[in-house]
Chains A and B, each alone.
Chain A
């Protein structure tokens, strides 16, 4: 659909036809009641049979912290190798957790969520896939990126450019937890994962259970490039949250069959549960 309705619409009938064919903003909620510390509580949402769904963002509310593992049951492919914390995945209506590029779920697709409570108390969760019902099967003539609500008209300054993003269109959203462990006070932790072919990194998010945060170093073994000279970049300067991710200015193609490694150092005077997530898309 064009950004704006054409200015010269001759009749109400013609306008009505456009209205009926336009993309419909839509919210697909997955609701769950998760017991204290319960693991892998499943629920699903099925895309309606009247149209495909262009998934654009994740929005959630809950009564406590949680993590979730998403799987597209249509393709039998998970969207993350291990569960991702809710705050690293989903935002609010004010600041949604955007996918790098919209992803089209075909009609009747089922998306499964497996929730794990991190609050230690019963947790009522509403987890929403937000986007548009696409009543037209014709591909959009122009790529329409998301709008960062806190950046508004100057969103493009803070995201990879529209041309780069549009080249990722149609790829599967993916989240790579680069680090996910509890680290003792002032201690360091390391992790790595092997990247399959066709993975693209667009933004980075992180969380820690202690306010003092952590420092972070990332290393691309394939290119033998380290992203920081020393482990002094504190987490708020390195990664955002799902609501306000740290967007790369250029899409970074992750090493094919290489490794991404990271080291974190907990700055808190107590043990801290730290999760660092690279976000993007993959083939």
Chain B
């Protein structure tokens, strides 16, 4: 029997497991009626760890637009006062332009850190003309080392 590898205690291994980054899904769920606009949906990160946002994922029963704001920094993730070439006001970014799926998520090449107890606020607008059940996922890692 080989004894070349130093034995690592169960306690040390347990500490390593407890301290590692935890893959985590933060969902925002909203239900819109046809053409409904300005409906809020928020998520607040848990108090046990900062969150490293790495991917954006969503599913819905129809197309929608969204505005997103990091409430901790009060910074929106897209510009305000958007208009098109005719001067019509644009509510936000189309869902297909912001979110992927679990198979093909939208990947942030540079992860974005949300402090514990930070709120990400979404405002939604239905584009489908029918009832719309939406789940937006902020996917990343809980950072227990921080």
Residue numbers of A with Cβ under 8 A of B are 1, 3-9, 12, 15-16, 18-20, 22-29, 31-34, 41-43, 45, 48, 56, 59-61, 92-96, 126, 128, 132-133, 144-147, 149-150, 152
Task: Please determine whether A5 and B50 come into contact, CB atoms closer than 8 angstroms.
Answer: yes
Task: Please determine whether B79 and A28 come into contact, CB atoms closer than 8 angstroms.
Answer: yes
Rounded to whole angstroms, the CA-CA distance of A22 and B114 in the bound complex is 10
Known: A4-B52, A18-B113. A27 touches B98 (CB 8 A): yes
Task: Please determine whether A22 and B97 come into contact, CB atoms closer than 8 angstroms.
Answer: no
Q: Shortest beta-carbon distance, B21 to chain A, in Å?
A: 9
Residue numbers of B with Cβ under 8 A of A are 50, 52-53, 56, 70, 72-73, 75, 77-79, 82-86, 88, 90, 93-94, 96-101, 104-115, 118, 143, 145-146
Task: Please determine whether A1 and B110 come into contact, CB atoms closer than 8 angstroms.
Answer: yes
Task: Please determine whether A3 and B111 come into contact, CB atoms closer than 8 angstroms.
Answer: yes
B94 contact from A16, A61, A146, A152, Cβ within 8 A: A61
Task: Please determine whether B78 and A31 come into contact, CB atoms closer than 8 angstroms.
Answer: no
Residues of B within 8 A of A5 (CB): 50, 52, 113, 143, 146
Task: Please determine whether B97 and A61 come into contact, CB atoms closer than 8 angstroms.
Answer: yes
A149 contact from B98, B100, B112, B118, Cβ within 8 A: B100
Residues of A within 8 A of B109 (CB): 56, 144-147
Q: Shortest beta-carbon distance, B58 to chain A, in Å?
A: 9
B110 contact from A19, A32, A126, A144, Cβ within 8 A: A144
Task: Please determine whether A27 and B78 come into contact, CB atoms closer than 8 angstroms.
Answer: yes
Task: Please determine whether B75 and A24 come into contact, CB atoms closer than 8 angstroms.
Answer: yes
Task: Please determine whether B85 and A32 come into contact, CB atoms closer than 8 angstroms.
Answer: yes
